[in-house]
């Protein structure tokens, strides 16, 4: 099956294969919620509930993992925009000063409970060893 010249040209512009996703993300500045629709080594397509951010440069954070990337906009639609990654960071590790506020917001996304607080909340069963050998009766 032959592809049209337009389809081939669009596919040839990409350096790496895209992976369809539905990851929850946030875009800074502004802490805008988004969904990462397509993801590749070089960039991502982000979908927003409203118009995409007006800034040409952003920091996008995959909220569940703390993977962050500084990105520059390649294209913009009504509720989607394509971004090319410039630098990638792991918010679980040390980051440059310019990302300190982003990291602080990501770390504050939920209160971390200590082991004793978990045990007292009833969310954790007191045991020693692996959970697979815990007897509930």
In a domain, 125, yes or no: no
Domain count, the chain: 1
> Does some domain include residue 10?
no
Higher-confidence residue of 125 and 24: namely: 24
Residue 102 within any structural domain of the chain? yes
Bigger pLDDT: 5 or 100?
A: 100
Q: Is the residue at 26 inside a domain? A: yes
**CATH number of the domain that 80 lies in?**
2.40.10.220
In a domain, 59, yes or no: yes
Domain presence at residue 3: no
Provide the mean pLDDT of the chain.
80
Q: What is the pLDDT of residues 113-128, one digit of tens each?
A: 666 765 665 554 554 5
SS3 sequence of the chain: CCCCHHHHHHHHCCCCCCEEEEEEEEEECCCEEEEEEEECCCEEEEECCCCCCCCCEEEEEECCCCEEEEEEEEEECCCEEEEEEEEEEECCCCCCHHHHHHHHHHHCCCCCCCHHHHHHHCCCCCCCCCHHHCCCC
Q: What percent of the chain has pLDDT over 90?
A: 50
Q: Is residue 4 part of a domain?
A: no
pLDDT in tens, 62-94: 988 899 999 999 999 999 999 999 999 999 999
Range of the domain at 36: 17-111
């Amino acid at each position: 099956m032959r592809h049209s010249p337009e389809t081939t040209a669009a596919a040839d512009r990409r350096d790496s294969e895209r992976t369809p996703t539905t990851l929850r993300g946030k875009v800074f500045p502004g802490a805008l919620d988004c969904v990462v629709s397509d993801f590749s080594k070089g960039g991502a397509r982000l979908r927003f509930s409203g118009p995409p951010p007006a800034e040409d440069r952003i920091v996008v954070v995959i909220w569940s993992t703390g993977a962050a990337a500084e990105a520059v906009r390649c294209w913009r639609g009504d509720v989607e925009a394509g971004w090319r990654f410039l630098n990638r960071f792991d918010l679980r590790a040390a980051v440059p000063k310019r990302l300190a506020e982003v990291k602080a917001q990501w770390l504050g996304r939920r209160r971390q409970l200590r082991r004793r607080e978990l045990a007292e909340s009833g969310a954790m069963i007191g045991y020693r060893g692996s959970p697979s050998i815990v007897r509930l009766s």
